[in-house]
Chain A
Amino acid sequence: MSWRRQLAKLGALFRRSKPVDDLEEEIRSHLEMEEQENLESGMPPEEAHYAALRRFGNVTLAQERSREMWGWQSVETLWQDLRYGARQLRRNPGFTAVAVFTLTLGIGLNTTIFTLFDAVTLRPLPVKDPTTVVNVYQRIQGEPGSYRSFSYPEYVALRDSNSVFSGLVAYSWIPIEIDSGATTAEAEEAHALLVSGNYFTVLGGEAVLGRTFTPEEDQAPGAYPVVVLSHAFWKQHFDSDPATVGKSVKLNGIRFTVVGIAGQDFVGTEPQIPDLWVPLTMQGQLMPRDDRLPDRGSFWLEVVARLRPSVSIRQASAAMDVLINRFSRDYLGTSEQASITLTPGSFVARPDVRGQVDSLAFLVMAAVGMVLLIACANVANLMLARATGRRKEIAIRLSLGATRRRLIQQLLTESSLVALLGGGFGLLLAYWMPNLLIEALKPPYEQPIALHLGLDIPILGYTLLLSLITGAAFGLAPALQASKPNLLSAIKDGGNPFGQGLSRSRLHNLLVVAETSICVVLLMGAGLLVRALKRAQTVNLGFDAKHVLVVALDLDLHGYDDIRAAEFHRELTEQLQTLPGVKSVSLASLAPLGGISRGAPITIGGRETSASLSSLSVNYWVVSPNYFETLGVPIVRGRNFSVLDTRGGPPVAIVNEAMARQFWPGGDPVGKRLRPGPPSVPFAEIVGVVKNTRGARLWEADEPYVYLPILQTTEGPPVQTGQLGMKLLVRAEANPGTVAAMLPRVVKRLDPNVQASSTLLVKSVGRWVWFSQVGAILSSGLGLLALLLAAVGIYGVMSYSVTQRTHEMGIRMALGASQDDVLKLVVGQGVRLTLLGAAIGLLISLAATRVIAGMLYGVKPTDPVTFVSVSLLLTAVALLACYIPARRATKVDPMVALRYE
C-alpha cells in the first residue's frame, strides 16, 4: 500500500464524515439504475429487481470490503468480536471457568516470579530521586570478571576529589551486640550498617525523631559515638518511646548516644533494613581487633553515588577511572590499572552477582513458563473440543459470506478474551503470592526482607504481553482448525457420525504428547532436587550434631589477650562441666559447618619433598583434647590428644582418614611426620587418625584435615590459633536449651562484661539444608502442578474422545466386543500417548537437568531412581486419568448408541 493511501486513511479517521458514509445510498441508486434498465429492456418488474441484485453480487460484502478499505472497520470489528466473544463465554460458564482458572494458575505463577525478579533487580533503589543514583564498583585489569568494593582510604579520596557526583556514600554491614541500658536486659544481637556521614542526606532519608548523621561525623575516627535506630527496632525494643532520642546505649560494650529514629519507610541501599546505623568512623571502636579504616588493602566498603545534574554515567565513570588510577599510583605505589564501573542503582547491581541472579531467575522463569505451556495445551484442547460443538455455527457463518480470515480473527479475539481474564486473575494471584513465597522460603534466622512487591508498569506490561501471547498460543491452532470444516456435511448434521476429522484428533493427540513431555521435564527437575534434599538431610556429618551448642564469646571486646583468654576458657570449661545436664565441653578454632575453613601449606616429612608437594595446602583445625569426644568423632587409629600435649612436649598432630588416604595410601600415618605451615614451624608427629567429618561446609567432599592440639600451638599465621577466637562446644545430656539458658549466668560470674552467644549446631546444619529445601519445595510445587494440569488434560481429551466415539463403541459392543475390550481400547490409546510424551520428556530431561547439576549435591543429573520413579508416577496418573472415561465407554448401551443420530 502506498503512503498516500495510508495518509488518506489517517485523514478519514479524524474527518467527521467518511467517504463511505453514503455508500448505502450510492449502492441503492446503482441498483435502481440497473433495475430501470432491465425494465426498459422488457423484463417484468419482479424479475428486473432480482436480476439487478444478482448482477451486483453480495451487497453486504461489497459494503464491508469498501469500508475495510478505509481501515477503521477493524476497530468496529474488534468491538463486535469482543461483544460476541463475551456472549459466547457467558453462554458456556463451565468451559469459561475451567479455562480461566487454568490460565490464572499459569499466568499468575509467571507474574509472581517476574514480580520477585522485578523487585530484586529491575526496580531502582527505594531512595529519593533514584534515577540519578548509581552503584560504584572497581575492576582490576588483568583480573577478568572480578569486581571489588573499596577500601576506606580509596573511598575518602574518591569522595573528596571528584567533580561528577553530588554525593558519594559508603556502607558496610557489621554484627553488633546492643545493650539498651536497662539493668535486667541482656545484650542482644543486632544488624548494624556502618555508613558514611552523608548516607542519609544523599539518599534522602529523614528522621522522624531527632536527626540523622552530619558530614562532620565522618571526619575524625572514633570521635562521634552516635547511632540512628530503625523505626521497627525502636518500636520493638524501646516501645516507640520518644525519650529514646538522647538516651545512651552500649554497642559492643561502647557507649553510644541515640541521636535519631529513621523514618518508617526508609530502606536505603540494602533490601534488608538494618536495626541501626552507625557512622563509618566508629568501625575501629566497634571492632577493636580489626580496625580497617587506615587499611589500604582491605576492600570492605560498598559505594553508591548520586550523579550531578547533566552528568551522564559514561562521563562519570571516565572521570572516576582517572581518579582511582591516580590514587593507586600516588598512595599505593602499585601499577595495577583499575577501572570504575557504574551501574544504575539497584539492590543487585554488581555485574557479576547480577549475572548469577539473572541466570537463576532465567531457570525459574523457564520452569514456570513450562507450567504455562501445559496450561495453554489444556485450554487449546478445550477450545478444540468446543469448536467441534460450534461447527454448525461456523459453517453457517462461512456460507453467509464470512471470510476465513474474519472467522479466525473472531475466534482469536475470543481466546484473547479468555487469556486476558486469566491474566487479570493471575495479577491478583501475583499480588499476594510473592510475600507468601518470601515468607515460606526465606533463610532461617534472618532479618525480614523489605522488598517492594506492589504492581508497577513493568509487571502490568509483562502480564498483559504474556496474556496476549498465551491467547494466541492456545487460540491459533483451534481457530485454524475450526474455520475449515466441510460446509455441506456440517450444515446437514451438526454431529459427527464416524471417526472425526483425522487431523483434528491428531492435534488433540499432539497436545497431549507435548504437555506430557513438558510435565516429565519438570517432574524430573523436582525429583532430582527432592533427592538432593533427602541426601542433604541425611548426609553423614561424621559427627553427632544433636544436643551440641556452639558458644561464641566476645572476649576481644573486653581487653582480653591470648593468655587471659586461655585462662578464661579453662575456668569456663571447668564450671560448665559441673553443670547438671552437661556431658562434655571442648574448644575449637572453628565451629563445624560455620562456612569458614583455614588452610595452610604442609610439608610431609620422611619422603622426598617435591615441588608439587610443598605447594600443597590442607585445612587445619585447632582443638582441645575432648573435641572428638564432644562431637562423637571416633578415633580409628593411634591415640587422642592428651593434657600432656602442651607447648613443652613434642609436637603432635592428628589427621583424618582422607588425609591418610591421600598422603599415605595403604600405609599407616601414625608415627609419620608433617610440618603444619611454613619452614619456621617444627615438624609434628602424627599420633592418631580420626574418621572423616563434614568440616566447614555441608557439601564438601571428604577433604584432608589436620588437627592440632590447642595447648601446643602458637598464635599467628598461617594457622591462626589465637585463644581469643576459640569457640566452645558444649554437649548436653538431653536438653541443650536449658544449658543455653544457664550459660550467660556462668559467664557473668567470671566476668560481668563478657557476652556469650550460643546456637545449636543442628541449626547450622539447617542453614545448609535450607538452600536445598528452597529448590526442592519450589520445584516439587511446580512439578505437582504440572502433573495435575497434565492429568486434567489427558482426562479431558480421553473423555472427549469417548463422547465422540459413543456410536463406534456401541457398534463394537453390538458386534460382540466385551467391556474389557472397550476398556483396553480406550486406556490403551491414552497410555500410548502418555508413554510417547514421557519418552520424549525423558530425552529432553537428559539434557535439561544438567542445568541444575550445581544444585544437586550427591545426586547425578541422570539419577536412575528419579528417572524410574517419575516414569512410574506419570504412568500411574495417566492410567487413572484414562480409566474414568474408559469406564464410561464400557457403560454404553449398544442399542442407545446405535439409535443415536
Chain B
Amino acid sequence: MAKQPSRDRIELVYGSLDMLILRTLRWGPTHGHGIAKSIERLSEETLRVEHGSLYPALQRLQQEGWISADWGVSKNNQRAKYYRLTAAGRRQLLAETSRWERFVRAITGVLRPTESEEGQ
C-alpha cells in the first residue's frame, strides 16, 4: 500500500535542505538514498523530502566545496555515490546551525513568550 501523505508532514523551508544534508553527513559518508532516509527518520517522518530534489542540492554543495563525492559499494553490494563532509562544510554547518537556532529562538519567543520563559 502506498503511503498516504500525512497531515503532520511539513514541506521543507527553502534553503534548509542544505543544512539538513550537511547535518546528516556529520555521522559519516553516505549516498543520496541514505541522506533522504536519515532526514526522514531523524525528523520522525515529519519532514517530507522529495528524493529528486536532493540531487540539485548535492550539486550545489559540491560546487561550494562543502561536500565531496566518490563512488563506493553499499551494504547490499550496490554501486553508489558516497558524499562526505569537507572541512569547509563542517564550518558551514556550524555557522548555519547557530544561525538556525537563533532564528528558531526568535520565532518561538514571538509565538509563545511566557512558555519559553518557563522552559528556561
* A residues whose Cβ falls under 8 Å from a Cβ of B: 2, 4-5, 8-9, 19-20, 22-23, 25-27, 29-30, 32-34, 36-37, 43, 47, 51, 54-59, 61-63, 65-66, 68-70
Contacts and interface: CB of A to CB of B under 8 A. Distances in A.
Interface string B45-70: 00000111101101110111100010
Contacts of A70: 59, 63
A26 B64 contact: no
B33 interface: yes
Given A19-B62, A57-B51, A33 B78 contact: yes
B59 A56 contact: no
A204 B69 CA distance: 66
A865 B88 CA distance: 78
Contact of B76 (A8, A23, A36, A58): A36
Contacts of A27: 32, 55
Given A27-B55, A51-B2, A33 B63 contact: no
A5 B56 contact: no
B97 to A, nearest CB: 19
A772 B111 CA distance: 79
Contacts of A8: 62-65
Given A26-B32, A33-B74, A57 B2 contact: no
Nearest to A33: B33
Query: In this complex, which of A23, A25, A33, A34 has the most chain B Cβ atoms within 10 angstroms of its Cβ?
Result: A33
B31 interface: yes
Contacts of B64: 2, 4-5, 8
B55 A65 contact: yes
Nearest to B40: A55
What 8 pairs between A and B have smallest CB-CB spacing? A62-B52, A57-B52, A69-B59, A65-B56, A8-B63, A5-B63, A57-B50, A33-B33
Contacts of B1: 43, 47
B107 interface: no
Contacts of B78: 29, 32-33
B102 interface: no
Interface string B1-32: 11100000000000000000000000000011
A47 B55 CA distance: 24
Given A29-B31, A30-B33, A19 B53 contact: no
A19 B65 contact: no
A742 B31 CA distance: 107
Nearest to A7: B63
Contact of B59 (A19, A34, A57): A19
A55 B81 contact: no
B51 A23 contact: no
Interface residues of B, number: 29
Given A8-B65, A22-B81, A25-B79, A62 B59 contact: no
B52 A56 contact: yes
B80 interface: yes
A29 B80 contact: yes
Contacts of B69: 19
A54 B2 contact: yes
B50 A23 contact: no
A69 B63 contact: yes
A56 B60 contact: no
A62 B56 contact: yes
B90 to A, nearest CB: 16
Contacts of B80: 26, 29-30, 33
Contacts of A51: 2-3
A30 B51 contact: yes
B49 to A, nearest CB: 9
Contacts of B52: 56-59, 61-62
Contact of B31 (A9, A30, A56): A30
A243 B3 CA distance: 105
A36 B77 CA distance: 12
Contact of A5 (B2, B53, B60, B74): B60
A70 B63 CA distance: 8
A56 B50 contact: yes
Interface in B72-111: 74, 76, 78-81
A29 B79 contact: yes
Contact of B56 (A2, A37, A55, A66): A66
Query: In this complex, which of B55, B56, B64 has the most chain A Cβ atoms within 10 angstroms of its Cβ?
Result: B55
Nearest to B3: A51
A244 B29 CA distance: 94
Contacts of B79: 25, 29
A706 B4 CA distance: 108
A27 B69 CA distance: 14
Nearest to A2: B64
A424 B64 CA distance: 43
A846 B90 CA distance: 69
A20 B32 CA distance: 14
Nearest to A58: B52
A28 to B, nearest CB: 10
Nearest to B76: A36
Given A19-B69, A30-B31, A30-B33, A55 B51 contact: yes
A23 B56 CA distance: 10
21 contacts: A8-B62, A9-B63, A19-B59, A20-B59, A22-B71, A23-B55, A26-B81, A29-B78, A29-B80, A30-B32, A30-B51, A32-B78, A33-B76, A33-B80, A47-B2, A51-B2, A51-B3, A55-B50, A56-B51, A61-B52, A69-B63
Nearest to B81: A26
Contacts of A62: 52-53, 55-56
A62 B51 CA distance: 9
B57 to A, nearest CB: 9
Nearest to B80: A29
A68 B60 CA distance: 10
A5 B62 CA distance: 8
A20 B53 CA distance: 15
A66 B59 contact: yes
Nearest to B32: A30
Contacts of A36: 76
B93 to A, nearest CB: 16
Contacts of B62: 8, 19
A352 B97 CA distance: 67
Nearest to B62: A19
Contacts of B71: 22
Contacts of A26: 31-32, 55, 80-81
A677 B99 CA distance: 95
A22 B62 CA distance: 14
Contacts of B76: 33, 36
Contacts of B37: 37
A69 B51 contact: no
A826 B74 CA distance: 72
Given A19-B69, A26-B81, A4 B33 contact: no
A30 to B, nearest CB: 5
B30 to A, nearest CB: 11
